[in-house]
Chains A and B, each alone.
Chain A
């Protein structure tokens, strides 16, 4: 489908998320106030009732996540937005969402941490939490856009992936992206793809809520469809949805949940490159830090260094294959991330010891500058 863009709007990233969510068909938002994500909730509170959708400010972050999953099971396309401490609180119910396969989108506008940290300052320190935060083995999709136009389109893609794969999808912004105003040209309605969860074509007496005979993503039925009456539980369950402790059935189901991601990398993966074709010094960076990395690439090129950027838009699952391919042309790679070193472990695991991996990390609330990244680039060149 060819996107046709409408008029330019000048908006903060948080508002872009809300506008895009509604464009993607979101009709439920359950939230709780937290800096620096609160504008998403405020904007949804204004937008949704005008479109017949529902907004509710719940009593806490945990309840917000619960309400989103409840609405999703009743058939809604549901969104919540939070930041570090709130994301920590949401994690148990996020795991429930993976377990029962409830499509929904969770935005984490990252701020400095740990604990209360730096509520009004940016960071990228929740990236490992996004992957491994909830207990137990589970699949994860986390998306890290870097520009507002991309944020708009990736918010829509987050909804599409969550619906298509029947699982929560995490959208990771940070305080810089959330509050920075920038031009976006939202595509005109009808010119971009909207995917809704696949509904069953089975009659009630044949319906199994976790039927695997149609592939790894079981067809859905929202609550209240006459006669279906399915059971939803966070306990390990079999195809019928009822609890089981049978080791074979539990193993089969948990492996299937993982396979929804590992088996659909073509749909999920997204990497953007900048001046990478002839690069021999790589920079790995994502989200707002990648904007500084792009400037660093330009400055390096002006000084005769052939730098190039590898920017994962889908951060989880980690783009191992793409990075490994890129690393083959490199003398070394700089990992620029706004934390004390998290994604660098994945980069090191991917490139093994074939090339040097230089860490450019930072905390303290002031973003990494192009000059700082350039300094690291020069360590390799």
Chain B
């Protein structure tokens, strides 16, 4: 299928606001690739975000786009999906937005198994507000609010969401766009809640403070640590703390999807009368 950015992009809104070399562009490209592959009509897609650099992505995409309050994208998305469960509902957010202020909504959307596709651009930092540490900033890394190194242990988002009951959990990274396309296609095709963490680079706010001010240095740092599940499992315990598994980490197609279950309730109540 020919790859046509402009079916899904608002050309007149470009150039985008992100720093040169930002990982978010790679995520947006992979999303457009996936929409194209799946032949989703832009009018049938609602894409919802919260607040932050990543949450500006919907503004550039030519579909139904909703830029909500900080952390709350999933709650708005849930209302939309409940009312129009026949449509595609996609959420894109950053790590701070989705796992700190929005963490409660994330685990509960996963638990419900509502058919919303979540993509988290995890660049380990609050970028837009000036480089403060997030729940995914590595222990010891420097941030605007961790000038002596981060004292807090970080979240493994994939394990968090899997533990909350998500029926599809995967991880990709910005160093491998082709792999990301494959992962997103599986995620968007999945019936039920799907979660994709994209390990990404913010060389401006994270890299500058941690000796990786060049985007290519940061992307190499990410790529070197990304291992397919089988290779990851064969690593030594010490190497495992340094690396992360990529690919589809968890998939369960047996769980009922929430809006379908609700529709069954509506049907049974109305047939019974």
Contacts and interface: CB of A to CB of B under 8 A. Distances in A.
Interface of A: 27-28, 30, 49-50, 52, 54, 56, 58-60, 62-76, 78, 92-93, 96, 223-235, 242-243
B67 A233 contact: yes
A70 B270 contact: no
Contacts of B204: none
Contact of B82 (A59, A67, A96, A224): A67
A44 to B, nearest CB: 13
B170 to A, nearest CB: 23
Nearest to A92: B69
A224 B48 CA distance: 13
11 contacts: A49-B266, A56-B82, A66-B74, A67-B75, A70-B76, A71-B83, A224-B87, A228-B43, A229-B64, A233-B59, A233-B66
B64 A223 contact: yes
Contacts of A66: 68-69, 72, 74-76, 78-79, 105
Contacts of B13: 242
Contacts of A75: 83-84
Contacts of A228: 43, 64
B30 to A, nearest CB: 21
A229 B79 contact: no
A54 B83 contact: yes
Given A49-B265, A63-B105, A229-B65, A28 B46 contact: no
Given A54-B82, A66-B74, 18 more contacts: A28-B82, A50-B266, A50-B270, A52-B270, A59-B104, A63-B104, A67-B75, A70-B66, A70-B80, A70-B83, A71-B83, A74-B83, A75-B84, A223-B46, A223-B84, A226-B41, A228-B64, A229-B43
A234 B44 CA distance: 22
Interface of B: 13, 41-44, 46, 48, 58-59, 62-69, 72, 74-80, 82-84, 87, 104-105, 107-108, 262, 265-266, 269-270, 273
Task: Give the 6 A-B residue pairs with the shortest CB-CB distance, closest first.
Answer: A66-B75, A70-B79, A67-B79, A70-B76, A63-B75, A71-B79
B43 A242 contact: no
B270 A71 contact: no
Contacts of A62: 72, 75
Contacts of A230: 64-65
A96 B80 contact: no
Contacts of B77: 70
Contacts of A30: 75, 78-79
Contact of A242 (B59, B63, B87): B59
A229 B62 contact: yes
Nearest to A48: B266
Contact of A226 (B43, B75, B107, B273): B43
